[in-house]
Structure 1
Amino acid sequence: MALRIAVTAEPVPSHVSALDYVIGPALDQGHDVALYAPPMFRREARRRGVGFHRAGTDWTCDPAVQRVASGIWRQSGNASFNRHVFGRLWPERAEAKARDLIAAWTRARPDLVVSECSDLGGHLAAAVLRLPVWAADNGLGPVLLDLWDTDVAPALTSLHKRYGQDAPVLPPMVTPAPVHWFYGTPPPSARAVGRTVAAFRTAGPGLDGLPSSRPLVYVSLGTLTTAMPGLRGVVGDVYREVMAALSATGCDAIVSAGALARELPSTDPRIAVVEHVPQPALLRRVDLFVTHGGRASLLDAVQGATPVLGLGVLADQPGNTAAFARHGLGLALEPTARRAELADAVTALLGDPRHTAAMAAADAELSRLPPVDLAELLARA
């Protein structure tokens, strides 16, 4: 039986891609899928062949919001940044998102809501309308759980009371990887499911002309940090140190830096700087991935069996890269690491086949997970 599936996302550039493990199987299973999200994702919905309904605003693009958040990160560190963003900013904007969703779902009631785990307005709207709901882990699940009792739930309590709801709780969660990879203490409701990637993201990049005798390294520090004016300088310095380290090691490299690419001229012909690449496809062709450690990027690396050098910058990223290092899937350094330390780490990773073998084993473990079954989620909600 075809179900009406409502998927919600919050305004962070990579977040719809992080939900492809729900969207793809829902379409494959013949369900009617609609994305309820801020305007920035209209094109992403069209590319995936799903309906789009505007819900919420592109508030993360507000320069004032970015300036304050990045200032907190630079002055007080990632823990303070997380408390500000997830314990204050996200709860403050939950009501506006909830209002949009309540209005939309009152007009056209979905059978099942799959709301990304950080979409607090989506959770509230589903509760108000008594809709079955699951939270889709977008990588922020561990951060939210760590802050839930101390920061998130207290900030949401008065809002939930205004809407006649009990104390806020996270819905049961689906996560696109073995739970123990990222959760020290797994949430009891977490359900691990297989990961899929949208077909258009797997088109192979042109690598013609690159020598095959030297190791090929791919570098990307994500989309969010390069879009935040207060962090662009910091991330630009990290890119420069990484490029200098790679030049010293004699590797070939592709550096994907988004809008920062124009500010990172390469003086080494072995290092190509570009704005964007089809990352999942490229990671099947390279020998090492230097990454900020976003959840989707790390899982792309697993599916390409490519070891990682993690430079976690903010939010969940430091915890993600530390977890991968513990599992033998690469190494993790601070983003303040200098070129000599980076070069040593690159050399160690390229010279040790155990990391590649560990990645291949992780890919096999990931591939054994079944795709999410939307009808089953509805039955279990």
Structure 2
Amino acid sequence: MTLRIAVTAEPIPSHVSALDYVISPALEQGHEVVLHAPTMFRHEAGRRGMGFRPAGTDWTCDPAVQRVASDIWREAGNGPFNRYVFGRLWPERAEAKARHLVAAWTRTRPDLVIAECSDPGAHLAARVMRLPLLAADNGLAPVLLDLWDTDVVPGLAALYKRHGQDVPALPPLLTPTPIPWFYGTQPPAIRGVQRTVAEHRRALPGNPARYPSSRPLVYVSLGTVTTALPGLRTIVESAYREITAALRGIDCDAIVSAGRLAHHLRDAGGPRIKIVEHVPQPALLRHADLFVTHGGRASLLDAVQASTPVLGMGVLADQPANVAAFTRRGLGRALELRTTRAEIADAVTAVLDTPRYTDAVRAAGSELSRLPPLDLNRALHEVNGAGAAR
């Protein structure tokens, strides 16, 4: 049966890519898929071949929001940053998103809503409209679960009350990863499903033959959010400079994807170090021998699917915990963001020279590939059955 599926995303640059594991199978199974998201994602919807309806605002692009959030991270650390973001910022923006979605879904009622786990406006709108709802884990679900009772529910309580709804509850979760990888205790109503990547992210531009050489290839990316927050930008730029300085002293080639910082780092490159704004990461990682990463969940899964070990330098939100989880599984090593070029060089050399890291990542890739494919008709049936049981 063909379904009308509404997918929602919040205004974080990489978040539509993080949802490809639900978008791609929905399109491949012939369903009608519409992305309801801020306008920054209109192009992302088009290149994936799905419909688009504006919903919510590009509030993460507000300089005042960026400044306050990054100041909290810099002055108080990641824990207070997470509590501020998920206990205050997200709830404050949820009502506008919910209002837009209720209006859209009143005109064209979807059969199923798949909302980012960190999209409380979509969760509320689906509840108000009595629509079947699944939450798509974008990597933030473990953080949300940790903060749910202490910060998230209190932050949303007044909004839910205004809409005549009971206490917020996280919907059933889909996650594109074996659950023990990122969850210490398995939450109720969570299901691991096969991870897919959009087609345009699986191909390298130009001739891929130029990447292999006699030297190992190190790929470096510290993510998109880290370069967008002004309070983080100088710290992250310094980290990129320490990384490139370390790589210049190692017999390797390197590609450094630095987003909006790329033009500031041109002087840090060289004959063996290429500085770029962006590359199709999943495709490039298939040619890389090491991935120096901020530890976003999608980036780590890209590395596993490419059999590329990681050197993680977690920055904010879920990233430090993600890097720690991968380190415990022997999939790479971890360093602090503010570390020296000598320490980075030692860690890079250690990972490149130790085959057990690559072996561990290959084994993890086999485990990841055994997750079941996502069947959207079955998922709808399960959600409806769970609702009837309640």
- TM-superposition CA deviations, 1:267-325 (whole Å, max 9, x none): 53111111111110000001000000111111100010000000000011001111000
- TM-superposition CA deviations, 1:112-140 (whole Å, max 9, x none): 00000000000000001110101000000
Measured in 1, the distance between the counterparts of 2:5 and 2:330 equals 38
Q: Report the RMSD for the aligned CA atoms in angstroms.
A: 1.0
SS in 2 for 1:160: helix
The answer on 1:154 being equivalent to 2:172 is no
Code of the aligned partner of 2:219 = Y
Measured in 2, the distance between the counterparts of 1:263 and 1:352 equals 33
Measured in 1, the distance between the counterparts of 2:270 and 2:286 equals 24
Match of 2:387 in 1: none
What is the percentage of aligned positions where both structures have the same residue?
71
**Aligned with 1:352 (options 321, 343, 354):** 354
Measured in 1, the distance between the counterparts of 2:319 and 2:220 equals 15
- TM-superposition CA deviations, 1:251-276 (whole Å, max 9, x none): 11000101111111235311111111
Structure 2: gaps of 5 or more residues: 384-390
Match of 2:225 in 1: 224
**Aligned with 1:316 (options 315, 318, 325):** 318
Measured in 2, the distance between the counterparts of 1:190 and 1:335 equals 32
The answer on 1:338 being equivalent to 2:340 is yes
SS in 2 for 1:71: helix
SS in 1 for 2:204: coil
Measured in 2, the distance between the counterparts of 1:132 and 1:11 equals 23
- TM-superposition CA deviations, 1:119-174 (whole Å, max 9, x none): 00000000011101010000000010011100000111111111111100100100
- TM-superposition CA deviations, 1:228-260 (whole Å, max 9, x none): 222111100000011111112221100010111
Query: Is 2:203–2:283's contact at 8 Å kept on the other side of the alignment?
Result: yes
Q: TM-score, normalised by structure 2?
A: 0.96
Match of 2:126 in 1: 126
Measured in 1, the distance between the counterparts of 2:235 and 2:269 equals 20
Match of 2:53 in 1: 53
1:208 to partner: Cα distance: 4.7
The answer on 1:254 being equivalent to 2:246 is no
Match of 2:293 in 1: 291
Runs of 4+ in 1 over 6 A off after TM superposition: none
Structure 1: gaps of 5 or more residues: none
Q: TM-score, normalised by structure 1?
A: 0.98
Q: How many residue pairs align between the two structures? A: 381
Measured in 2, the distance between the counterparts of 1:248 and 1:183 equals 38
Query: Is 2:245–2:268's contact at 8 Å kept on the other side of the alignment?
Result: no
Match of 2:386 in 1: none
Query: Is 2:211–2:287's contact at 8 Å kept on the other side of the alignment?
Result: no
Measured in 2, the distance between the counterparts of 1:36 and 1:364 equals 34
Measured in 1, the distance between the counterparts of 2:132 and 2:231 equals 39
SS in 2 for 1:357: helix
The answer on 1:369 being equivalent to 2:371 is yes
1:213 to partner: Cα distance: 1.1
- In 2 relative to 1, CA 211–124 (structure 1 residues): closer, same or farther, beyond 3 Å? closer
